[in-house]
Structure 1
Amino acid sequence: MTSASFTPGRVARLSILGLGALVFLAPYIFMVSTAGKAQSDIFTSSLSLIPQQWFYVQNFAKALSRVSMGRLLMNGVVVCALILVFQVVIAIPCAYAMAKLKFRAARALMVLVMLGLLVPIHATALPLYVAFDRAGALNSYVALVAPFTISVFGIFLFLQFFRAMPDDLIHAARLDGMSEPGIIARVIVPNAWPAVTAFSIFSVVAHWNDLYWPLIVVSNQAYATPPLGLLYFRAAEAGDDYGALMAATLIITFPLVAAFLLAQKRFVEGITMTGLKG
């Protein structure tokens, strides 16, 4: 790179981006540092990122032994996978109908989707809890998955993506004798993978990190999700072994980091093509 490339504007932009990256990475850096410290090293008056005594092995051993970490991760995978499958299966046909089919209720449905984006889970938590309690569905995957099977955000994201698809592609499929479900399965879905990947990242991150709803409907550790498992872990440690707690947090957050790095290219592509970029 030549010296001409380092213009004042470019240097300023890179500096701002670097500072922003450091701010966002600071909690993770602190977590990695704390996971390798002894208890006496964590509560010293001097703040040092480099542990004076390396306790990574001991802290990770505690994290894996004091809590059923494998069970927590498996519950997280099952819940996130089921939610994602239901959301995609429901959102794609809905978005396709609103984007490519002409019917009277299209505008009303669009208004309902926009209004649905404004309703948080906290507003519906109490009636949903009462319903699951009366149905005897608490402490189950049904209670963890069912409230999130319909994603208005997913419908909105796919709607923006499908609107950009050429109508000639749909018309050609209809001339070939394809039904609407066939068009969705053989034309829409194969061309929608960037949007599916982008939505998958949003969905998995949101529900993997969700603590509010599992804390309400789960009291049996056999169905605990990763964030809820951290609460059990901290209670088991009487809230004082932060080195082991940070080690457990690293184990739980690693799958998300790995998934995002693997899908980063398609994620950026999907966000760009759906028009949701900042």
Structure 2
Amino acid sequence: MTTSPIPARLIKWLLVLIAVGVSLFPFYWMLRTALAPQSQQLADGLGFWPAHLDFGNFARAWNKANRGQALLNGLIITGAILLLQLITCVPAAYVFAKIRFKGSGILFGVVLACLLIPTQATMVPTFIGINLFGLGDTRIGLVLPFYSSAFGIFLLRQQMLSIPDALLDAAKTDGLGPWRTLLRVVVPMSMPSIAAFAIFSVFTHWNDYLWPLLVARSPDLATPPLRLAVFQQADIGFDYSALAAGAAIVTAPILILFLFAQRRFVQGMAGGEIAG
């Protein structure tokens, strides 16, 4: 008597559950550590959940790391970067997608080449330039190097390629110029990709640690990830409970944003892949 094979659907769901568990484990461990009393940080025999919950770790993390100022700095810097990127990337993507001009292929090739260059490779000359212009330790210095995004131009261009040229010709016939066509026709039809890029940009720059570490020398300019360094103590090392509580505070806004905008994110990324 032969046994029936395991259904492929069951195998698929098992793999999905394993992937979800692996992805969520760091969040579980962060929350568990944040709720554990400071005296049990390095205790042996850790259980699934702390026997005694200590919500005071969150208050200690908020006060010691000046979380209110850090979150405000993160909001201002992330919002300014996103605004500048949308102002530069949306028109650039529209030009590459729908306006034919000599050398457009070469210029777009340069944009694609920029995707291959890691940010760390250009960080030192960018830092030198920011300091030469006297923008070190300023919010402008934190924002200016990210005024545009090669990934944003590429993603939005792919979405705009799927917009029928006949629709743009009809807008031109109705008397709309290039800018009004962009704002009234192209942007509304590209909102899934714009929303997806906005989420990607916010995730990236809210969690950025290295560039603020180089530029923001004043504690008043520290971003949320940068303020986590205050929990390193010279005599005992890291205060892990307060560090995990601070990390949870930093992660919460981004996690909430993704939960509300995940449908737009998936639609935008899928639209950028399908358009050719």
Range class of TM-score, shorter chain: over 0.9
In the alignment, the residues of structure 2 paired with residue 235 and residue 74 of structure 1 have an alpha-carbon distance, to the nearest angstrom, of 25
Contact 2:231 2:242 in 1 (8 A): no
**Shift in Å at residue 49 of structure 1?**
2.7
Contact 2:228 2:243 in 1 (8 A): yes
In the alignment, the residues of structure 2 paired with residue 265 and residue 87 of structure 1 have an alpha-carbon distance, to the nearest angstrom, of 22
The answer for the alignment partner of 1:44 in structure 2 is: 43
Show structure 2 runs of 5+ residues with no match. Answer: 1-5
SS at match of 2:117: coil
**Shift in Å at residue 245 of structure 1?**
1.1
The answer for the alignment partner of 1:177 in structure 2 is: 175
Q: TM-score, normalised by structure 1?
A: 0.93
What's the C-alpha RMSD, in Å, of the aligned pairs?
A: 1.6
Structure 1 segments of 4+ aligned residues over 6 angstroms from their partners: none
Q: 1:107 to 1:237 in 2, by over 3 A?
A: farther
* Residue number among 88, 93, 96 corresponding to 1:95 in the alignment: 93
Report the count of equivalent residues: 270
SS at match of 2:238: coil
Question: Amino acid of the residue matched to residue 130 of structure 1?
Answer: I
In the alignment, the residues of structure 1 paired with residue 234 and residue 191 of structure 2 have an alpha-carbon distance, to the nearest angstrom, of 43
SS at match of 2:62: helix
**Shift in Å at residue 239 of structure 1?**
3.3
The answer for the alignment partner of 1:207 in structure 2 is: 205
Q: 1:221 to 1:276 in 2, by over 3 A?
A: farther
Q: Please state if 1:163 is matched with 2:161.
A: yes
Deviation track 1:138-185 (CA, whole Å, cap 9, x = no partner) reads: 111111111111100000000100011111111111111111011111
Q: Please state if 1:135 is matched with 2:121.
A: no
**Shift in Å at residue 238 of structure 1?**
5.7
* Residue number among 136, 148, 151 corresponding to 1:150 in the alignment: 148
Show structure 1 runs of 5+ residues with no match. Answer: 1-6
The answer for the alignment partner of 1:259 in structure 2 is: 257
**Shift in Å at residue 45 of structure 1?**
1.7
The answer for the alignment partner of 1:108 in structure 2 is: 106
Q: Percent identity?
A: 37
In the alignment, the residues of structure 2 paired with residue 189 and residue 235 of structure 1 have an alpha-carbon distance, to the nearest angstrom, of 50
Question: Amino acid of the residue matched to residue 11 of structure 1?
Answer: L
The answer for the alignment partner of 2:3 in structure 1 is: none
Q: 1:118 to 1:235 in 2, by over 3 A?
A: farther
Deviation track 1:202-239 (CA, whole Å, cap 9, x = no partner) reads: 11101111111111111101111111111134359963
Deviation track 1:93-149 (CA, whole Å, cap 9, x = no partner) reads: 111111111111111011101101011121111111111112211111111111111
